[in-house]
Amino acid sequence: MRWLPALLSVLALPIGSFAAKSSSSSTERFETFHTQAVASSPLKLTDSSYKKLTSAPRDYSVAVLLTALDAKYGCQLCGIFQPEWEILGKSWVKGDKKGESRLILSTLDFTDGREIFMSLGLQTAPVLLLFQPTTGPHAVPSPDPIRYDFTSGQPTAEQVQDWLARHLPGRPHPTVYRPVNYLRWIVSIVSTLGVAGVIFKIWPYIANRNVCAGLSLIGILLFTSGHMFNQIRKVPYVAGDGRGGISYFAGGFQSQFGLESQIIAFIYGVLSFATISLAMKAPRTKDTHMQQIMVIAWGIILVVMYSFLMSIFRGKNGGYPFKLPPFM
């Protein structure tokens, strides 16, 4: 039995050599791809580079976005998410130039990776896969990649960064840095200066008492008619009445349509104008005959419009107790 230890030692040599070679190969692969990612991130892959990058054993993580950017594939979400993915890739490399996170962000387009798409059985895009290490201190038991859920809506670079950070504990998680949109700043500054110049120019007219009163009245009518309710609830403009026609007024006091609020605002405006005319315009008319006509005319308009307004309230809720001729 003295020969058994010697035999075990001889057998252990190739096994140890193979393990060391595999570890060295994984490290070399990471260094090679990380160098490429520093120059251009996220790293663009092909069928062959995808297989090489994600092959086991590996002591690093790989995040691969499988997408279809060509317009002929009609993938809208692919085009929408691509800028966010590029921002994340550049931010990650900028904050982790030494590769301490042991993560490589990459992209495989359908045009360059048909074989991979077919082998994975993918019918939709985009698909984001995270391959965890199979060896080393951060190795996980399962070699299967983790898939990001795109069904919850359009993700941002910050959301994907949070998702990666949750699955990469104990490692650096670089912050997302968005590039400065200088054109947007220039447009905003020029627009602000333009608006300020216009306000300064027309300020003597805006400061007029009648103009201020008119603007205030328009604002009051706009908001008392339910404009804010429409913006919050996103109500429809009109709706069908179930008989092939159009319903302009919604039933009940807790709902309304967009056109309904405009009709109510118009009625309020006519009533306000009639009241102001009776209170201010008619008394200042020196012609007695004309003054009498104005009072009768505005009085009729006031009664008719108020009657119509109460008929609308009664139509929305049959329990409304008030009514006035001619709309009974």
Per-residue pLDDT of the chain (328 residues; tens, 9 = 90+): 444 444 434 333 343 333 334 445 888 899 999 999 988 889 999 999 999 999 988 999 999 999 999 888 888 899 999 999 999 999 999 999 899 999 999 999 999 999 999 999 988 889 999 999 999 888 888 888 999 988 877 889 999 999 999 999 988 999 998 888 788 889 889 989 998 888 888 777 767 777 777 788 888 888 888 888 888 878 888 787 777 778 878 877 778 888 888 888 888 888 888 888 888 888 888 888 888 988 999 889 999 998 988 888 888 787 778 878 887 6
According to the model, what pLDDT value does residue 87 have? 93
According to the model, what pLDDT value does residue 82 have? 92
According to the model, what pLDDT value does residue 5 have? 44
Which of 251, 258, 252 has its CA nearest to residue 232? Answer: 258
According to the model, what pLDDT value does residue 126 have? 92
42-90 pLDDT, tens digit each: 999 999 999 999 998 899 999 999 999 988 888 889 999 999 999 999 9
Q: DSSP H helical segments within the chain, as ranges?
A: 3-39, 47-54, 76-95, 114-120, 157-167, 182-206, 209-224, 227-233, 258-276, 282-284, 288-316
According to the model, what pLDDT value does residue 167 have? 92
According to the model, what pLDDT value does residue 323 have? 79
According to the model, what pLDDT value does residue 203 have? 74
According to the model, what pLDDT value does residue 229 have? 81
- The residues spanned by each domain of the chain are 19-167, 225-316
Give the 3-state secondary structure of residue 105.
strand
Q: What is the DSSP letter of 42?
A: S
According to the model, what pLDDT value does residue 157 have? 92
Beta-carbon contacts of residue 85 (< 8 Å; ≥ 6 apart): 42, 65, 105, 107, 157, 160
Q: How far is CA 25 from CA 22, 54, 140, in A?
A: 5, 13, 19
Q: How many CB atoms lie within 10 A of CB 253?
A: 11
Q: How far apart are CA 286 and CA 327, in angstroms?
A: 34
CATH of segment(s) 19-167? 3.40.30.10
According to the model, what pLDDT value does residue 24 have? 55
- The secondary structure of 243-272 as a DSSP string is SSSEE-S-SSTT---HHHHHHHHHHHHHHH
- The secondary structure of 148-166 as a DSSP string is ---TTS---HHHHHHHHHH
